């Protein structure tokens, strides 16, 4: 990926990391900051009361996941190890990055993801799981 696709700024929160959990407003501000920098708008944004922020992107949009993961200072995104189907026909895998304790959003889990086509190996592994 070219460095020009990753925002120069990283996500920060108005809440210092430490004992005080960040608020929903802090999480929303972090999200809005990314959009203001020109990051792609997710298909779905969820902010849960148990302090979890999930950004879900369109099918196959790994570039958006990578860009948001960089902005949010998450680990590099990767494929899940399991294939699944949503419609019973199309085998999918997950592509995501997540962290359970975000350094700039104290007390929060943060995840960015999208579905991608499953590989032949992922499909075979899923079928083997079903037959066990």
Q: What pLDDT, on the 0 to 100 scale, is given for residue 89?
A: 67
> Which pTM does this prediction carry?
0.76
Q: Judge whether 11 lies within some domain.
A: no
Rounded distance, CA 43 to CA 105, Å? 22
Q: Judge whether 127 lies within some domain.
A: yes
Q: Judge whether 21 lies within some domain.
A: yes
Q: Judge whether 81 lies within some domain.
A: yes
18-42 residue pLDDT tens: 567 888 888 899 899 999 999 999 9
Q: Judge whether 117 lies within some domain.
A: yes
pLDDT band with cut points at 50, 70 and 90 for residue 7: very low
Total number of domains constituting the chain: 1
Q: Percent of the chain at pLDDT above 90?
A: 36
CA distances from 14 to 24, 27, 55, 102 (A): 11, 9, 20, 13
- Provide mean pLDDT across the span 43-68: 93
Q: Judge whether 5 lies within some domain.
A: no
Domain that holds residue 30: 17-131
Q: Judge whether 55 lies within some domain.
A: yes
Q: Judge whether 6 lies within some domain.
A: no
């Amino acid at each position: 990926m070219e460095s020009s696709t990753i925002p120069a700024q990283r996500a920060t929160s108005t809440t210092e990391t430490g004992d005080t959990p960040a608020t929903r407003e802090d999480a929303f501000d972090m999200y809005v900051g990314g959009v203001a920098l020109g990051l792609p708008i997710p298909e779905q944004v969820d902010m849960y009361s148990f302090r979890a922020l999930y950004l879900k992107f369109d099918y196959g949009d790994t570039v958006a996941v990578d860009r948001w993961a960089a902005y949010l200072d998450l680990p590099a995104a990767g494929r899940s190890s399991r294939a699944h189907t949503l419609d019973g026909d199309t085998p999918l895998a997950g592509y995501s990055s997540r962290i359970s304790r975000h350094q700039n959003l104290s007390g929060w889990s943060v995840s960015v993801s999208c579905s991608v086509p499953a590989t032949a190996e992922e499909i075979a592994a899923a079928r083997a799981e079903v037959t066990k």
